[in-house]
Amino acid sequence: MTVNARPMPKISLRNIGKQFVVRPTKANPQGSILAALDGISLDVAAGEFITLVGPSGSGKTTLLDLLAGLTRPDTGRVLVDGREVTGPGRDRAVVFQQYALFPWRTAASNVAFGLEGTGNDGVKRSRRERTSKAREYLDLVGLSGFEDRYPHELSGGMKQRVAIARSLAYEPDILLMDEPFAALDAQTREQLQEELLRIWRSTGKTILFITHSIEEAVYLGQRVAVLSSRPGRLKQIVDIDLGERAGTGDVRANKAFVEQRHRVWSLLHGEVLKAREAGHAKILPDGSAPDEKRPSSNGKAA
């Protein structure tokens, strides 16, 4: 082994391409091929917190599905710890915008659910162990005392905390998060961002976090990856340095934050306009997106 070898990336995307077949419809009798991702290469270090922004329809969720092992790329390779991802695994947990909790199970029982099979170590856990793990992770997300509540007795923010606890409970190395806070009100959202940073620091997880909020991306990420409009290509990766955060009060008001937020905004803004111009903003229910330019109100092509 070479002494100077760089550490192996936790996640490595190598020249990823992904297409979808759009089935024929009345409006589009031939059907078509839709390029969702093109030539994405990205390494994420172990323990890194990376955020991903891009216009709607730029392939963010598609990228996350590939990492989760829910779909396979058409070209390129998805590697985790240097091994090709061939399906879902316990080393990766996904947190979606919708909490997807079982309404008939209590918070603790929802968290324990993920522990009912065999663990990463291939060992089955006893009921007592599962309960104690569930409590530990509910505590970590700030929900001690709420173990016996049912989802309908919890606020949106609390439900998302349960979902995060459930993902953490089976101790994955990687958390894949797809706009997990998008449905929450602004205050709850800020609170959960804070919590997530705390959890990340205390657990050392590798986190890939998708958001359409530039502010959220800059606040959370050590790097922000900006995707282009469809087909999603990696437009730029912005390193975020907010200096020492602890005890600085309103980080979002700091000069460094405002500047870096603006930088990401500028990168993204051009792409959102392109997507809108190409009509990508309008995705039809069958998954197709009209690519033709639409005339603007003054009669000129937009």
Ligand X SMILES: Nc1ncnc2c1ncn2[C@@H]1O[C@H](COP(=O)(O)OP(=O)(O)O)[C@@H](O)[C@H]1O
Query: Which residues of the shown chain bind ligand X in the complex (CB under 6 A)?
Result: 20, 22, 34, 36, 54, 56-62, 230, 283, 287, 289
- Judged by CB, which is closer to ligand X: 125, or 230? 230
Q: Which two tokens stand for residue 208?
A: 């890939």
Tokens of 12: 């490595």
Q: What is the nearest approach in angstroms of ligand X to the Cβ of residue 219?
A: 20
Find the helix or strand (DSSP H, E) in which 68 lies.
helix 60-68
Residue with tokens 């959960």: 192
The residue to which tokens 């390494």 are assigned: 43
CB of 129 to Mg ion, least distance (A): 35
Beta pairing partners, 135: none
Residue 68 contact among ligand X, Mg ion, none, beta carbon within 5 to 8 Å by kind: none
Dihedral, CA of residue 23, residue 29, residue 33 and residue 35, to nearest 10: -90
Distance in Å, CB of 297 to Mg ion, minimum: 30
Segment holding 12, helix H or strand E: strand 11-22
Q: How many residues bind Mg ion (CB under 5 A)?
A: 2
Nearer to Mg ion, 60 or 233 (CB): 60
Per the structure block, which two tokens stand in for 61? 């969720």
Query: What is the spatial distance between Cα 212 and Cα 208, in angstroms, rounded to a whole number?
Result: 13
- Output the smallest distance, CB 270 to ligand X, in A: 16
**Complex with Mg ion: residue 60 or 230, whichever CB lies closer:** 60
Shortest distance, CB of residue 65 to ligand X, whole angstroms?
Answer: 7
Q: From the list ligand X, Mg ion, none, which binds 57 (C-beta under 5 to 8 Å, kind-based)?
A: ligand X
265 binds, among Mg ion, ligand X, none (CB under 5 to 8 A by kind): none
Verify binding: residue 25, Mg ion, rule CB under 5 A: no
Given Mg ion, ligand X, none, residue 180, with its beta carbon under 5 to 8 Å by kind, binds: none
Minimum CB distance to ligand X, residue 225 (Å): 12
Which tokens hold the place of 228? 């282009």
Q: Are 236 and 290 in contact (CB under 8 A)?
A: no
What does 131 interact with, of Mg ion, ligand X, none (CB < 5 to 8 A by kind)? none
Q: Is the Cβ–Cβ distance between 62 and 36 less than 8 Å? A: yes
Cβ proximity to ligand X: between 91 and 179 the closer is 179
| Least distance between ligand X and beta carbon 175 (Å) | 17
Burial class (CB in 10 A: 0-12, 13-18, 19+), 58: buried
Selection from ligand X, Mg ion, none that 278 binds (CB < 5 to 8 A by kind) is: none
Find the angle CA(5)-CA(6)-CA(9) to the nearest 5 degrees.
Answer: 135
In the complex with Mg ion, the residue whose CB is nearer, 60 or 159, is 60
At 10, the amino acid letter reads K
**Per CB under 5 A, 61 contacts Mg ion:** yes
Q: Which residues bind Mg ion (CB under 5 A)?
A: 60-61
